Amino acid sequence: MKAEPTTLRKLSELLGLSISTVSRALKNHPDISEATKKKVWELSAELDYEPNTYAVNLRTNQSKLFGVIVPSISSYFYNFFLASLEEEVKKQGYSLLILQSGDDPVMELFNLKVCKENRVAGIFASLTSETKDISAFLKLAEHSIPVLFFDKVPTWEPCLKVCLADEQAARLAAQALIAQKKQRVLALFGHHNMSISMIRRQAFLDELESQGVAYQALEVTSQTHAYQQTYQMLTSDASFDTIFSMSDEILLGVLKAVQQSGIQVPTQVGIIAISDGTIPQNYYPEVSYVETSGRKLGKQAIAAMFECMHYGLTAQQWMVESVYVSGGTL
């Protein structure tokens, strides 16, 4: 027969203490003597006492849990972001509930409902490329649940967001091309609905135009699409001396197309990307890139979240700066 779980009431009866005294001792309350704490802790360990977190959540209407909603966890960027976020929240006694939207707005709303049902303390959200209405996110403020958007953030609403320096990153990439006297650039960008794509595209192309550099800009929607478009351009009559990729996902498609086409890097074509650095550093020659670090973004995101929870912020933006890393492909 399965043993009954140890409760606060059972501990109090065995120790001859009130339930409130046992509860405060387990929480290391300063009003409880060290001798009493020692007795409570020893017995609770012996009987494998575990607090009923669900009951605590119901009582406080909040948990020591943060929800994280991302389009996909398959990218290196989100892997590093999540690892960094988990490392930081653990220091404060919190855990993560990680949910994927699959870049589907309907699933995104379902995940938001799951977070609310679990009474999360806050939500970190990277939006889908099709999300046009964030009212469901903003309504969570009525339940004292702060929502912090990261990476793929809304541009049309005042809200809490932590971003990579997308404009700076794109300009640094363009300036690196210009410094190398590049003149014909194939530039690949993500879905036009995403703020990250809009900002990077505008800044990159503005910089090229200011120096009279010719370019062709393409919109791609996935790694496979990036491969198909790049391969088609490389095997056509079009001539490019450099390929720019605005993300790691796109970069993987570009690298496959370049390899399959048999074009030599960097003698026949140069490559530069905006990346967290993992893919560029594992390619030979190493890809030149502008760093946008998922790990740094994770650290900034949790710091921003606790600031929001402490001061009750509802609209503010934090930025993580970028740096250019020279490789052998430019």
pLDDT at 209 over 70: yes
Do 226 and 200 lie in one domain? The reply is yes
pLDDT tens digits, 124-156: 999 999 998 999 999 987 788 999 999 999 987
Do 245 and 283 lie in one domain? The reply is yes
pLDDT at 322 over 70: yes
pLDDT at 258 over 60: yes
Per-residue confidence (pLDDT) for residue 107, from 0 to 100: 96
Tell me the mean pLDDT in the region 199-210. Answer: 98
Per-residue confidence (pLDDT) for residue 51, from 0 to 100: 66
Do 283 and 303 lie in one domain? The reply is no
Do 171 and 32 lie in one domain? The reply is no
pLDDT band for position 45 (cuts 50, 70, 90): confident
Do 260 and 175 lie in one domain? The reply is yes
Region of poorest pLDDT, from 37-46, 52-61, 75-84, 114-123: 52-61
Do 43 and 184 lie in one domain? The reply is no
Do 135 and 282 lie in one domain? The reply is no
Q: Kindly report the pTM of this predicted structure.
A: 0.78
184 falls within a domain: yes
Per-residue confidence (pLDDT) for residue 47, from 0 to 100: 82
Tell me the mean pLDDT in the region 91-102. Answer: 94
pLDDT at 60 over 60: no
Residue 181 is part of which domain span? 166-291
Do 223 and 263 lie in one domain? The reply is yes
40 falls within a domain: yes
315 falls within a domain: yes
pLDDT band for position 1 (cuts 50, 70, 90): very low
Give the chain's domain count: 3
326 falls within a domain: no
Q: Find the Cα–Cα–Cα–Cα dihedral 324, 325, 329, 330, rounded to 10°.
A: 40
Per-residue confidence (pLDDT) for residue 59, from 0 to 100: 52
Do 198 and 248 lie in one domain? The reply is yes
160 falls within a domain: yes
Between 109 and 54, the higher pLDDT residue? 109
pLDDT tens digits, 268-284: 999 999 999 999 999 99
CATH value at residue 204: 3.40.50.2300
Contact 287, 275 (CB under 8 A): yes
